[in-house]
């Protein structure tokens, strides 16, 4: 019996270790976004690696519960991308592992809230008004952000909304920087607000929490859409909001949509959020994108005394191709710059196409629906049959192929994919992925099928 357990859980020897934790962490950041990463996932450490499971360390019980309840599925999914043989992770509380007596309890709860907030409340000095490029899509938001700094509480709250990567956090941060010398500025994301809220409840320390957040004279809260569906958080936010307004503090809020479109948010909050001035940031036009690229090139030249040669043609190419948002645009530009540094030459459009192939291909959205349709067409079976419970091979294989491609080509989690295949369990999806992986390695027919279907999906 013991032998069996041992065999399964064999500790991987040094040479067999395959996980590069730094790479794993950076994939967490990419997939969950930097906010969640910074708040939660960056705190995970790899303690032990086994063939089929990992022991990960997290600082506290609270961290563990939070991470497990919200992010575990996706974490596991990402880890499997690095090591297919993994099937579970275990969390150990690292606080328990070290000697607690010295630092525990000596820190009062007030200081602890303060310390952790201070650690987080840092404004990024680079995200200021000077580095924010004005364009048609953001000029209204920019102009009112500046007005707020000249005369606070004229528009209260100031509510800035727009899609991802369009500059909301940048603007909020710029306002905070501008006002911080004369005011008590609090700059926090709604997710982080939630974190402190829950932590204070657990520690029975709401008095300090309320005190702390209501002290600021400028309260900036990023990504307020995060409160959707979280009743107790909304309750607390509502009271914080009211007491801040009452004492004459300025509130600045960002969101991914206008207040009235915040579903699962109390009416009274929506109406408070709409009570000041609402401005939006739109997707950038070509002119703004070109301006942002040129500015960055000039900045690099100035900062590093380095002359990066990028032709107008290439600038234009990047702007036209990069459609989604400014964050992506900057990412793309950074790759082009890195390439031109290494090769020390002026890039052509063909070079760029090559460098950016994967970036732009990723932008194409492939959905589970599309995969299901394409696969059933390809194998010439009815979609309803493919999704049915029947297990005959002519139906089961295409079904597995479709699950496999859903896993490979979309960002959906295993349970989600299972649900979309007539409510199957996620273990069925895992089995399908493994089976097709194996088959496509040794069966040239299967390999060809997969390639052709992928081609169909990417083409149209």
Q: Which positions lie near Mg ion, rule CB under 5 A?
A: 169
Pairing of strands 185-189, 277-280: unpaired
In the β-sheet with 53-58, what is the strand arrangement from edge to edge?
45-49, 53-58, 88-93
Nearer to ligand ADP, 165 or 276 (CB): 165
Q: Does 326 bind ligand ADP (CB under 6 A)?
A: yes
Q: CB of 255 within 8 A of CB of 159?
A: yes
Burial of residue 77 (CB within 10 Å: 0-12, 13-18, 19+) is buried
Q: Which does 156 bind (CB under 5 to 8 A by kind): Mg ion, ligand ADP, none?
A: none
Which of ligand ADP, Mg ion, none lies near 424, with the C-beta cut-off 5 to 8 A by kind? Answer: none
Q: Which is nearer to ligand ADP, 138 or 250 (CB)?
A: 138
Does residue 292 interact with ligand ADP by CB under 6 A?
yes
Distance separating the N- and C-terminal Cα atoms of the chain? 55
**Residue whose C-beta lies closest to ligand ADP:** 167
Among 39, 145, 169, 250, binds ligand ADP (CB under 6 A): 169
Residue 165 engages ligand ADP in binding (rule: CB under 6 A): yes
Among residues 192, 230, 232, the alpha carbon closest in space to that of 212 is found at 192
Cα separation, 420 vs 198, in Å, equals: 33
User: Of Mg ion, ligand ADP, none, which one sits near residue 292, judging by CB under 5 to 8 A according to partner kind?
Assistant: ligand ADP
**Is the alpha carbon torsion for 35, 39, 45, 46 positive or negative?**
negative
Q: Which does 366 bind (CB under 5 to 8 A by kind): ligand ADP, Mg ion, none?
A: none
Among Mg ion, ligand ADP, none, what binds residue 57 when CB lies within 5 to 8 Å by partner kind?
none
Rounded Cα–Cα distance for residues 275 and 283 (Å): 25
How many other C-beta atoms are found inside a 10 Å radius of the C-beta of residue 428? 16
**Nearer to ligand ADP (CB atom), residue 188 or residue 430:** 188
User: At its nearest, how many Å lie between Mg ion and the CB of residue 38?
Assistant: 12
* Helix 444-459 with 393-409: angle, nearest 10 deg: 50
Q: Rule CB under 6 A: say whether 434 interacts with ligand ADP.
A: no
Q: Does 257 bind ligand ADP (CB under 6 A)?
A: no
What is the per-residue burial (b if ≥16 Cβ within 10 Å, else e) of 129-165?
A: beebbebebbeebbebbeebbeebbebbbbbbbbeeb
Does position 176 interact with ligand ADP (CB under 6 A)? The reply is no
Q: Which of 220, 221, 196, 223 is nearest to 210 (CA)?
A: 196
Q: Which does 330 bind (CB under 5 to 8 A by kind): ligand ADP, Mg ion, none?
A: ligand ADP
In the block, residue with structure tokens 């906010």 = 35
- Cβ-count burial of 415 within 10 angstroms (0-12 exposed, 13-18 middle, 19+ buried)? middle
Scanning 107-115, 203-211, 228-236, 324-332 for contacts with ligand ADP by CB under 6 A, the matching segment is 324-332
Residue (165 or 276) nearer to Mg ion, CB: 165
Instruction: Tell me whether residue 168 or residue 412 sits nearer to ligand ADP (CB atom).
Output: 168
Instruction: Work out how close the CB of 295 gets to Mg ion at its nearest, in angstroms, rounded to a whole number.
Output: 20
Answer yes or no whether residue 138 interacts with ligand ADP by CB under 6 A: yes
Residues 6+ apart with CB under 8 A from 431: 400
Say whether residue 192 binds ligand ADP (CB under 6 A).
Answer: no
Interacting span for ligand ADP (CB under 6 A) from 41-49, 63-71, 162-170, 244-252: 162-170
Question: Site residues (CB under 6 A) for ligand ADP?
Answer: 127, 131-133, 138, 162, 164-170, 292, 326-327, 330
């Amino acid at each position: 019996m013991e032998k069996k357990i041992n065999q399964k859980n064999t500790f991987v020897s040094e040479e067999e270790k395959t996980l590069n934790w730094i790479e794993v962490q950076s994939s967490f950041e990419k997939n969950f976004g930097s906010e969640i990463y910074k708040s939660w996932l960056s705190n995970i450490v790899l303690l032990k690696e086994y063939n089929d499971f990992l022991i990960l360390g997290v600082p506290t019980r609270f961290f563990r519960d939070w991470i497990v309840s919200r992010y575990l599925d996706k974490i596991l999914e990402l880890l499997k991308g690095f090591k297919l043989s993994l099937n579970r992770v275990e969390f150990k509380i690292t606080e328990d592992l070290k000697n607690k007596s010295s630092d525990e309890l000596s820190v009062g709860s007030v200081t602890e809230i303060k310390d952790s907030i201070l650690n987080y409340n840092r404004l990024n000095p680079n995200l200021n008004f000077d580095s924010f490029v004005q364009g048609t899509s953001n000029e209204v938001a920019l102009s009112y952000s500046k007005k707020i700094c000249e005369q606070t509480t004229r528009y209260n709250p100031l509510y800035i909304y727009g899609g991802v990567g369009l500059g909301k956090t940048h603007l909020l941060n710029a306002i905070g920087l501008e006002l911080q010398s004369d005011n008590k500025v609090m700059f926090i994301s709604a997710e982080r607000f939630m974190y402190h809220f829950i932590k204070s409840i657990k520690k029975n320390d709401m008095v300090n929490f309320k005190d702390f957040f209501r002290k600021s004279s400028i309260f900036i809260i990023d990504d307020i859409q995060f409160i959707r569906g979280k009743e107790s958080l909304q309750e607390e936010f509502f009271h914080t909001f009211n007491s801040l307004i009452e004492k004459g503090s300025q509130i600045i809020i960002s969101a991914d949509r206008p207040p009235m479109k915040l579903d699962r948010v109390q009416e009274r909050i929506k109406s408070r959020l709409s009570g000041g001035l609402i401005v939006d940031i739109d997707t950038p036009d070509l002119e703004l994108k070109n301006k942002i690229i040129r500015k960055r090139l000039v900045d690099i030249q100035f900062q590093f005394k380095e002359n990066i040669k990028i032709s107008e043609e290439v600038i234009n190419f990047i702007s036209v191709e990069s459609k989604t948002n400014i964050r992506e645009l900057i990412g793309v530009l950074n790759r082009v710059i890195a390439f031109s540094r290494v090769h020390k030459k002026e890039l052509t459009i063909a070079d760029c196409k090559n460098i950016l192939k994967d970036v732009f291909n990723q932008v194409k959205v492939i959905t589970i629906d599309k995969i299901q349709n394409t696969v059933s067409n390809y194998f010439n079976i009815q979609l309803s049959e493919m999704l049915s419970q029947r297990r005959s091979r002519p139906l089961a294989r295409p079904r597995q192929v479709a699950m496999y491609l859903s896993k490979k080509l979309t960002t959906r989690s295993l349970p989600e994919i299972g649900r979309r295949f007539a409510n199957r369990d996620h273990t069925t999806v895992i089995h399908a992925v493994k089976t097709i992986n194996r088959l496509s390695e040794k069966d040239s027919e299967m390999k060809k099928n997969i390639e052709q279907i992928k081609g169909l999906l990417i083409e149209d």
